[in-house]
Amino acid sequence: MHMNSVRPSLLRQLMAMLYDILLLLSVLFFASVLAVALNSGEAIPAGNPLFIFYLFFVSFVFYAWFWTHGGQTLGMRAWKIQLIGKHKKSIDWHQALIRYVFSIISLCSFGLGFFWQCIDSDGLTWHDKLAKTKVSFNDVN
Protein backbone atom coordinates (compact mmCIF):
# COMPACT_ATOMS: atom_id res chain seq x y z
CA MET A 1 0.00 0.00 0.00
CA HIS A 2 1.17 3.46 -0.78
CA MET A 3 0.23 6.12 1.68
CA ASN A 4 0.82 9.71 0.74
CA SER A 5 0.55 12.88 2.78
CA VAL A 6 -2.50 14.13 0.90
CA ARG A 7 -5.30 14.78 3.37
CA PRO A 8 -8.59 13.22 2.29
CA SER A 9 -11.41 15.66 1.68
CA LEU A 10 -13.88 16.42 4.43
CA LEU A 11 -16.62 14.80 2.33
CA ARG A 12 -14.60 11.57 2.03
CA GLN A 13 -14.05 11.54 5.79
CA LEU A 14 -17.74 12.18 6.47
CA MET A 15 -18.72 9.32 4.17
CA ALA A 16 -16.31 6.98 5.99
CA MET A 17 -17.87 8.14 9.27
CA LEU A 18 -21.35 7.36 7.93
CA TYR A 19 -20.27 3.82 7.00
CA ASP A 20 -18.72 3.35 10.43
CA ILE A 21 -21.77 4.69 12.25
CA LEU A 22 -23.98 2.16 10.45
CA LEU A 23 -21.63 -0.64 11.50
CA LEU A 24 -21.39 0.72 15.03
CA LEU A 25 -25.17 0.80 15.35
CA SER A 26 -25.22 -2.93 14.61
CA VAL A 27 -22.53 -3.57 17.22
CA LEU A 28 -24.40 -1.45 19.79
CA PHE A 29 -27.62 -3.32 19.02
CA PHE A 30 -25.99 -6.65 19.86
CA ALA A 31 -24.27 -5.14 22.91
CA SER A 32 -27.68 -3.95 24.09
CA VAL A 33 -29.22 -7.39 23.54
CA LEU A 34 -26.42 -8.86 25.65
CA ALA A 35 -27.02 -6.27 28.40
CA VAL A 36 -30.75 -7.02 28.47
CA ALA A 37 -30.05 -10.76 28.59
CA LEU A 38 -27.68 -10.22 31.53
CA ASN A 39 -30.43 -8.15 33.18
CA SER A 40 -32.72 -11.22 33.29
CA GLY A 41 -34.48 -10.09 30.13
CA GLU A 42 -35.67 -6.87 31.75
CA ALA A 43 -35.39 -3.60 29.85
CA ILE A 44 -32.57 -1.29 30.89
CA PRO A 45 -34.09 1.93 32.33
CA ALA A 46 -33.64 4.98 30.11
CA GLY A 47 -30.74 7.15 31.21
CA ASN A 48 -29.07 4.40 33.24
CA PRO A 49 -25.52 5.80 33.70
CA LEU A 50 -23.89 2.37 33.84
CA PHE A 51 -25.57 1.33 30.58
CA ILE A 52 -24.57 4.62 28.92
CA PHE A 53 -20.97 4.10 30.03
CA TYR A 54 -21.14 0.52 28.70
CA LEU A 55 -22.28 1.74 25.27
CA PHE A 56 -19.52 4.36 25.14
CA PHE A 57 -17.01 1.69 26.17
CA VAL A 58 -18.21 -0.67 23.42
CA SER A 59 -17.97 2.22 20.93
CA PHE A 60 -14.43 3.00 22.08
CA VAL A 61 -13.34 -0.63 21.71
CA PHE A 62 -14.91 -0.75 18.23
CA TYR A 63 -12.97 2.27 16.97
CA ALA A 64 -9.77 1.76 18.95
CA TRP A 65 -9.33 -1.83 17.86
CA PHE A 66 -9.45 -0.83 14.19
CA TRP A 67 -7.26 2.24 14.74
CA THR A 68 -4.58 0.25 16.60
CA HIS A 69 -4.69 -2.70 14.19
CA GLY A 70 -3.91 -1.23 10.80
CA GLY A 71 -5.25 2.29 11.26
CA GLN A 72 -8.45 1.73 9.30
CA THR A 73 -12.04 1.13 10.31
CA LEU A 74 -14.14 -0.61 7.68
CA GLY A 75 -15.53 2.75 6.57
CA MET A 76 -12.03 4.19 6.32
CA ARG A 77 -10.91 1.19 4.28
CA ALA A 78 -13.83 1.60 1.86
CA TRP A 79 -12.98 5.29 1.37
CA LYS A 80 -9.18 4.71 1.27
CA ILE A 81 -8.39 6.63 4.42
CA GLN A 82 -5.82 5.63 7.04
CA LEU A 83 -5.07 6.92 10.52
CA ILE A 84 -1.40 7.22 11.39
CA GLY A 85 0.63 8.41 14.33
CA LYS A 86 4.08 9.95 14.46
CA HIS A 87 6.56 8.76 11.85
CA LYS A 88 3.71 7.13 9.87
CA LYS A 89 3.33 4.37 12.44
CA SER A 90 0.21 2.79 13.89
CA ILE A 91 -1.27 4.48 16.92
CA ASP A 92 -1.39 2.96 20.40
CA TRP A 93 -4.36 2.52 22.74
CA HIS A 94 -3.54 5.70 24.66
CA GLN A 95 -3.68 7.77 21.45
CA ALA A 96 -6.87 5.97 20.48
CA LEU A 97 -8.47 6.91 23.82
CA ILE A 98 -7.47 10.57 23.45
CA ARG A 99 -8.73 10.63 19.86
CA TYR A 100 -12.03 8.95 20.81
CA VAL A 101 -12.79 11.23 23.77
CA PHE A 102 -11.94 14.41 21.91
CA SER A 103 -13.79 13.34 18.76
CA ILE A 104 -16.93 13.14 20.91
CA ILE A 105 -16.19 16.65 22.18
CA SER A 106 -15.64 17.74 18.56
CA LEU A 107 -19.05 16.35 17.63
CA CYS A 108 -20.81 17.80 20.68
CA SER A 109 -19.54 21.26 19.77
CA PHE A 110 -21.69 21.17 16.61
CA GLY A 111 -18.88 19.51 14.66
CA LEU A 112 -16.50 22.44 15.09
CA GLY A 113 -13.63 20.11 15.94
CA PHE A 114 -14.05 18.37 12.60
CA PHE A 115 -14.52 21.53 10.56
CA TRP A 116 -11.42 22.99 12.23
CA GLN A 117 -9.33 21.07 9.70
CA CYS A 118 -10.58 23.46 7.00
CA ILE A 119 -8.75 26.38 8.63
CA ASP A 120 -5.92 24.60 10.43
CA SER A 121 -2.50 25.13 8.84
CA ASP A 122 -1.77 21.39 9.12
CA GLY A 123 -5.33 20.37 8.17
CA LEU A 124 -5.89 18.61 11.50
CA THR A 125 -9.04 18.20 13.57
CA TRP A 126 -9.02 18.98 17.28
CA HIS A 127 -8.85 15.31 18.19
CA ASP A 128 -6.03 14.60 15.74
CA LYS A 129 -4.02 17.50 17.15
CA LEU A 130 -4.49 16.30 20.73
CA ALA A 131 -3.85 12.62 19.96
CA LYS A 132 -0.90 13.43 17.68
CA THR A 133 -2.50 11.53 14.82
CA LYS A 134 -3.15 12.28 11.18
CA VAL A 135 -5.62 11.03 8.60
CA SER A 136 -4.10 10.35 5.19
CA PHE A 137 -5.35 9.22 1.82
CA ASN A 138 -4.33 5.60 1.35
CA ASP A 139 -3.93 4.71 -2.30
CA VAL A 140 -3.75 0.97 -2.95
CA ASN A 141 -1.45 0.16 -5.88
Give the pLDDT of residue 6. Answer: 80
Instruction: Give the residue extent of every domain in the chain.
Output: 2-139
Give the pLDDT of residue 2. Answer: 44
Inter-residue contact 96 to 67 (CB < 8 Å): yes
Strands (E), the chain: 2-3, 81-84, 134-139
- Collapsing DSSP to helix, strand or coil, 125 comes out as coil
Inter-residue contact 84 to 133 (CB < 8 Å): yes
- Mean pLDDT for 80-86 is 92
Provide the β-strand partners of residue 24: none
- Mean pLDDT for 90-105 is 96
- Asked if pLDDT for residue 1 goes beyond 60, the answer is no
Whole-number average pLDDT of the chain = 92
- Mean pLDDT for 60-86 is 95
Give the pLDDT of residue 39. Answer: 94
> Would you tell me the crossing angle of helices 49-68 and 93-108 to the nearest 10 degrees?
120
The string of pLDDT tens digits covering residues 21-65 is 999 999 999 999 999 999 999 999 999 999 999 999 999 999 999
- Mean pLDDT for 116-127 is 93
